Amino acid sequence: MTAPNLVFIMSDDHAAHAISAYGSRITTTPNLDRLAADGVLFENAFCTNSICAPSRAAILTGTYNHTNGVTTLDTPLDNSLWTFPQQLQASGWQTAMIGKWHLGHGPGADPTGFDHWRVLPGQGHYYNPVMLEPEGRVVERGGYVTDLITDDCIDWINRRDHDQPFALFCHHKAPHRSWEPPPKYWTVDEDRHVPWPETFLDDLSGRANVVQSVQMRMMDLDPIVDLGAPVPEGLSDREELDWRYQRYIKRYLGCVASIDDNVGRLLDHLDTTGLADNTIVVYTSDQGFFLGDHGWFDKRLMYEESLRMPLLVRWPEGVVEPGRRIGEIVVNVDFGPTLLDVCGVQIPDEVQGRSFKPMLENKSVDDWPTSMYYRYWMHRDSAHLCPAHYGVRTETHKLICYYNDPMGQPGANGPTDPIEYELFDLVADRFEVNNVFADPAYDDVKGELLLELRRLQTELGDEPWLS
């Protein structure tokens, strides 16, 4: 087998439940579904910290944020750290990073390990974005960001050295806040009433106080900046809530539709150039997103909609039984070692993640972990007031400890709040509306999960919070 190529497509804040292959109730994504049909779909791929920069750093370095230092949005990536694209480059792959980087800029944080890079500064813009290249070059672009990033990816594929394998990182900005779809999708959903999620009217009773006070409600969206229009006069509270949700979700889904179109365009290009058979295509997002679930937008919390990453892997020469859905828990730090493994490249010992290549080949892995560790550090972040927490998720339960302390982390704010816990039985309560932490019937489960949390922290080298 010749060395495979890699096309790694990552969008920003694209929740799995906005992909039809994941059973979305609100949209269809035919091109992403193509990837799921021809490859495998991971039902339980989770991020280890549900915000942009930390998840990106975890993917690139194969390590948790307490190890790589990118704990919050205000902690750039030290670009002298090992990353899996660097390893691919050193092993003979041509590499390119195009689109959203969001791990800092300048000599200590610019992308490394890439033969070519052209990235958005910070969050970048949806329309007519500026893009950055090595040596401080600034490129002014005219057009819509998702189209432009795809154009650049296709262009780079065409002008690469055809004698070497390649690894292309196509990182979309969309569908990040503030949502600006392309003109094609401005009015397409105008007359549709998008159904509310099951937990849209969740009153959050029984959940931690710090969770009840996050500023992620529909009413916390800025009508002009986020929704593109002032709230119409004369609406009842419930009517305004629905107006906000419809504006929010339609703009979000318009951005998603453009991602899907452009994934299709890239897949078509691999087909027409004869590259598809020997190219691994990955689609993921840096984390999930609340699409009105629990009444919220945004991410950060360890709840399912935010924790879950879409993960689709197409690998024609390696995936056995295409169309399969894989239920094992995998995490973002596993992505790098897996892709190195698939490419036949050695995985260094410092990597904390583990290769799930055998799952692609439909082989069982006897000692694969059945729990995962999560930590969000950015206490009371200025935009959402989301609390600092860590937790453990198993195949059936989730325990979250809101330790509620900024701990001097960049971008985290005081004051410290009292420690609180949540425990969810994911089998009986998949929407996480019933916190059973204080329920005596769950005392045994609670004890086991507290021990498992501590075990994971010890194994991964993280420090528990101490009062």
Interface residues toward Ca ion, by CB under 5 A: 12-13, 52, 286
Report which DSSP code applies to 17: G
Q: In terms of C-beta distances under 8 Å and separation of at least 24 residues, what long-range contacts does 245-249 make, across chains too?
A: 245/194, 245/196, 245/200, 245/218, 245/292, 246/193, 246/194, 248/179, 248/218, 248/221, 248/292, 248/297, 249/26, 249/194, 249/291, 249/292
Q: How far is the CB of 386 from Ca ion (least distance, A)?
A: 14
C-beta separation of 418 from 404 below 8 A: yes
Rank residues 72 and 435 by Cβ distance to Ca ion and give the closer one. Answer: 72
Cα(341)–Cα(349) distance, integer angstroms: 13
Rank residues 12 and 422 by Cβ distance to Ca ion and give the closer one. Answer: 12
Q: How far is the CB of 161 from Ca ion (least distance, A)?
A: 32
Q: How far is the CB of 296 from Ca ion (least distance, A)?
A: 15
Name the E strands within 300-438: 308-309, 311-314, 324-331, 371-376, 389-394, 397-402, 420-425
Q: How far is the CB of 180 from Ca ion (least distance, A)?
A: 16
Strands 130-132 and 138-140: antiparallel
Rank residues 12 and 305 by Cβ distance to Ca ion and give the closer one. Answer: 12
Q: How far is the CB of 287 from Ca ion (least distance, A)?
A: 5
Rank residues 14 and 446 by Cβ distance to Ca ion and give the closer one. Answer: 14
Cα(390)–Cα(83) distance, integer angstroms: 25
The two structure tokens encoding residue 321: 């039984």
The residue of the chain with the least Cβ separation from Ca ion equals 52
Name the E strands within 323-411: 324-331, 371-376, 389-394, 397-402
Q: How far is the CB of 301 from Ca ion (least distance, A)?
A: 14
Q: Which residue has the tokens 């070497």?
A: 164
Rank residues 34 and 300 by Cβ distance to Ca ion and give the closer one. Answer: 300
C-beta separation of 348 from 87 below 8 A: yes
Using alpha carbons, select from 464, 105, 42 the residue that is nearest to residue 288: 42
Rank residues 19 and 342 by Cβ distance to Ca ion and give the closer one. Answer: 19
Rank residues 51 and 423 by Cβ distance to Ca ion and give the closer one. Answer: 51
Cα(331)–Cα(46) distance, integer angstroms: 5
Give the amino acid at 433.
Answer: V
Using only the alpha carbons of the chain, give its radius of gyration. Answer: 21
Q: How far is the CB of 119 from Ca ion (least distance, A)?
A: 15
Rank residues 12 and 304 by Cβ distance to Ca ion and give the closer one. Answer: 12
Write phi, then psi, for 327 (nearest 5 degrees).
-95, -10
Rank residues 215 and 278 by Cβ distance to Ca ion and give the closer one. Answer: 215
CB count within 10 Å of CB 92 equals: 11
Rank residues 50 and 87 by Cβ distance to Ca ion and give the closer one. Answer: 50
Write phi, then psi, for 35 (nearest 5 degrees).
-60, -40
Cα(376)–Cα(390) distance, integer angstroms: 6
